[in-house]
Amino acid sequence: MDAGEYFYKSPIGLIRLTCDGGAVTGLYFYDGEPGPADTRDAPPVIVQCENDNALNAPPVIVQCVNELDGYFNGTLKKFTVKTKNAGTVFQERCWRALMTIPYGQTRSYRDMAELIGAPKAVRAVGGANHNNNISIIYPCHRVIGANGQLTGYGGGLWRKEWLLEFEKTNV
C-alpha cells in the first residue's frame, strides 16, 4: 500500500490527508498551494501531489474521502476509517475520549479531563487536543471553554465555529 499526501476540497478549505498506507495519519486544514496542481477551483476530489492522479490513492484515503463527503453532506455522523494518531499515552487517552462526544454536542476541557480520570489536567487536555493530527475524525472542535466560549483550534476559530454550527443544523 502506498503512503502519501493527498488533498480534499471541503466547504471550509483544502484538507491535507496523510496516510501510512493502511491508516489515515493526518487530517489538516491547509491554507497553501497543494503542490503542482492548484485545486482551489477543482471539484471536491482527492489529489495526489506527485502526479495529480486520484486513482493512485490507497483504499484508506478513498474511504476517508468518501466519509468526508458524507460528513460534509450531513449524512455521516461517525467515521469508521482506520486511523493512527500516535502520541503519548496521555494524548492517546484524550483522543479516544474525543470520540465519545456525540455529533452536534460539545464538552468543556474540564469535562474531558474528568472523563479521562484526570480532573486537574484541564490544560494538558487542551495541549493534547492541540497535538491531535486527525481533526474532524477525532472531533477536537467539539471541545470548548467551561464558559461556553470557543477556544483554541489549529484550523482557526472560524472553522471550529463553522463545524459546530454545521453539526447542530444536521443532528
Positions annotated as catalytic residues are: 140
Cα–Cα distance between 32 and 56 in angstroms, integer? 22
| C-alpha cell of residue 104 | 452536534
Q: Are 85 and 133 in contact (CB under 8 A)?
A: yes
Q: How far apart are CA 94 and CA 92, in angstroms?
A: 5
Output the DSSP codes for 105-145: --EEHHHHHHHTT-TT-HHHHHHHHHT-SBTTTS-GGGEE-
